[in-house]
Amino acid sequence: MSEPARANKTVRIHTIPATVQRYAPTQALTARLRVAAYARVSTDQDEQLTSYEAQVDYYTRYIKANPQWEFVEVYADEGISATNTKKRKNFNRMIEDAMNGKIDRIVAKSVSRFARNTVDTLTTIRSLKERGVGVFFEKENIDTLDSKGELLITIMGSLAQEESRSISENVTWGWRKRISDGKVSMPYKRFLGYERGEDGLPCVVESEAKIVRAIYGLFLDGQTPSSIASLLTKHGIPSPGGKSVWYARTVQSILTNEKYRGDALLQKTFTVDFLNKTKKANEGEIPQYYVENSHPAIVSGEIFELVQHEMARRRENGKYTSTAGVFSGRLFCGECDAAFGNKVWHSTDAYRRVIWQCNRKYQKEGTHCNTPHLTEDEIKSAFMEALVQVLERKQEIVSSYREVISCLCNTLELTDRIERLKQEEDAIYRQISRLIRENASIAQDQAEYKRQYEALEKQHAIIKDQLATTKKAIAERTEKRRMLERFISQIEALDQPRQFDESLFIGTIDRVIVRRENDAKALTFRFKDGTEIPVKIKKKPVD
């Protein structure tokens, strides 16, 4: 056909009617719509629970009052935030039911009650629309099956998300203001030793406080977090969470928590993302606040500092964290200084026994240590022999160490030095504050300002180092005093020992050095007062 002939033809358009509706209801139009409602409140306070119950009652009556609707259920979440749908159990159950064809229509009070996260809102609504399920928001008068619904949902969802951000920031501000005012709160249900008092502040629970003090005492007496946890479990003492089994990390947490000394370090963590509530440890991103004497103490500041000092000392020495037994972390190789570990020989027959040997003895690389292995009976027997030698000098040791305690462990001079350094630190703080205020209000040479500021900052750093050094010296002397007093009291109370006592070994022995000397096993017991007693275990002759 020629081009002129084609041009004279009339263009006709034929409409082909749709046979499938894109957003068709899951039931026939003549059937009643199966309708559910969603209700949610974001906290579990009493006034909010009233709102929660009112919403459930309202939507139950609202749906049943419509003769064209068939009531399915009011899906409701209480005490749940809407910023993220992952933790909203009944919301997720409702969506699953709708996707499985059990619901035709969902009614909600508003977009903010449904979700405050735009992405979650739109994703959920589009998934529902693909199944022909619509959502009707009363407050905004939005029907998601309407042509304008998605645009309005996008706008309203964004507004709701911004509202959630604002609320989150306001809550955070209120929390930080409370922190900066020194108001302390605790997770009382999982915090051993304290409960919320009538004034809202922490109150000591004496029955639990005794356990806390015992944990501190056991640690200072030489026990490890692992062994303390085992002991508490053995005696049937419930953990802070009410469990029957204690773990070393729980004991460690109690030993390092400043709240037990009556102080509080606030804002250890902070929320990174208001939508998914992600938290992270505060590593200097936001201010922290250390509140002294914020609530009644369970252990004294001196005992708390002793525990921190002892913990640091053990870390430096790589000392015992194992639960392998009373000797774990206390036996060391005289050749390579590695710790001894326990091994089981003949584990499946009648000759089964536990021996201790250098952990590096059979390393593939390098030379092997010549240090002998020891049985537990040999260690116990050698300790009893060393103890007998100590008891022979009992009176001499007690009198000499009382003099040592009064002379070497005096901390009065160091305490006075701490006070002087704190006064100097406060004076520098005032100078820095005045310098900053003057620079903010009066025009001045910034190079000179920077020079003065850096000079003051350098002085502050020096004083801070001096304070740390002096505090460490006080802690060392205090620990030395406590260790010697504990050692003396144990020696004074001790008569001739007849059998091995685990608590006595832990309380008196700092470490045992093991060597081989010709045909003998040589053990040097270093007691906690510094006394060293050598004991030899000679090889038994073969018949």
Q: 343 and 298 in one domain?
A: no
Which comes out higher in pLDDT, residue 369 or 45? 369
Classify 445 as helix, strand or coil: coil
pLDDT at residue 320 tops 60? no
pLDDT tens string 256-276: 888 888 887 766 554 544 344
Alpha helix ranges (H) inside 32-117 = 46-64, 89-99, 111-114
Secondary structure in 3-state letters for 22-33 = CCCCCCCCCCCE
Q: 367 and 398 in one domain?
A: yes
Q: 106 and 72 in one domain?
A: yes
In DSSP terms, 74 is beta-bridged to 37
| pLDDT at res. 14 | 52
Q: 339 and 308 in one domain?
A: no
pLDDT at residue 323 tops 50? no
pLDDT at residue 221 tops 80? no
pLDDT at residue 98 tops 90? yes
Q: 369 and 281 in one domain?
A: no
Q: Which amino acid belongs to residue 18?
A: A
The sign of the dihedral angle between the CA atoms of 295, 297, 300, 305 is: negative
Q: What is the mean pLDDT of residues 435-441?
A: 80
Query: Does residue 166 belong to any structural domain of this protein?
Result: yes
Q: 449 and 341 in one domain?
A: yes
Distance CA 468, CA 305 (A): 13
Q: 393 and 463 in one domain?
A: yes
Tally the domains of the chain: 3
In DSSP terms, 77 is beta-bridged to 40
The CATH number linked to 138 is 3.40.50.1390
Distance CA 422, CA 464 (A): 9
Q: Which residues contact 368 (CB under 8 A, 6 or more apart)?
A: 360, 361, 362
Question: Which of 139-143, 371-375, 403-407 is predicted most confidently?
Answer: 371-375
Q: 139 and 247 in one domain?
A: no
Number of H helices, E strands in the chain: 15, 18
Which comes out higher in pLDDT, residue 4 or 430? 430
Identify the weakest region by mean pLDDT among 136-145, 175-184, 469-478.
175-184
Q: What is the mean pLDDT of residues 311-329?
A: 65
| pLDDT at res. 48 | 44
Query: Does residue 184 belong to any structural domain of this protein?
Result: no
Name the DSSP class of 20.
S
pLDDT at residue 288 tops 80? no
Burial of residue 156 (CB within 10 Å: 0-12, 13-18, 19+) is buried
Q: 406 and 363 in one domain?
A: yes
Query: Does residue 225 belong to any structural domain of this protein?
Result: yes
Q: 209 and 144 in one domain?
A: no
Q: Which residues contact 428 (CB under 8 A, 6 or more apart)?
A: 456, 459, 460, 463
The sign of the dihedral angle between the CA atoms of 219, 221, 226, 229 is: negative
Query: Does residue 408 belong to any structural domain of this protein?
Result: yes
Question: Which of 15-24, 302-311, 374-383, 505-514 is predicted most confidently?
Answer: 374-383
Which comes out higher in pLDDT, residue 154 or 132? 132
Q: 226 and 147 in one domain?
A: no
Q: What is the mean pLDDT of residues 98-109?
A: 91
Q: What is the mean pLDDT of residues 207-227?
A: 86
Query: Does residue 532 belong to any structural domain of this protein?
Result: no
Q: What is the mean pLDDT of residues 96-112?
A: 88
| pLDDT at res. 161 | 53
Q: 486 and 450 in one domain?
A: yes
Structural Rg of the chain based on CA atoms: 37
What burial letters (b/e) apply to 296-335, b meaning 16+ CB within 10 Å? ebbbeeebbbbbebbeeebeeeebbeeeeebbbbbbbbbb
Range of the domain at 39: 33-171
How would residue 70 be classed by pLDDT, with cut points 50, 70 and 90?
very high
Which comes out higher in pLDDT, residue 492 or 189? 189
| pLDDT at res. 36 | 94
Share of the chain above pLDDT 70, in %: 66
pLDDT tens string 326-380: 787 788 998 888 888 888 776 666 667 788 888 887 765 666 788 888 888 889 8
Query: Does residue 65 belong to any structural domain of this protein?
Result: yes
In DSSP terms, 75 is beta-bridged to 38
Share of the chain above pLDDT 90, in %: 10
Query: Does residue 508 belong to any structural domain of this protein?
Result: yes
Query: Does residue 192 belong to any structural domain of this protein?
Result: no
pLDDT at residue 130 tops 70? yes
pLDDT tens string 156-185: 555 555 555 555 555 555 554 554 455 566
CA angle, 240 as apex, 235 and 246 as ends, to 5°? Answer: 45
Phi-psi sector, 108: left (phi>0), alpha (psi -120 to 50), beta: beta
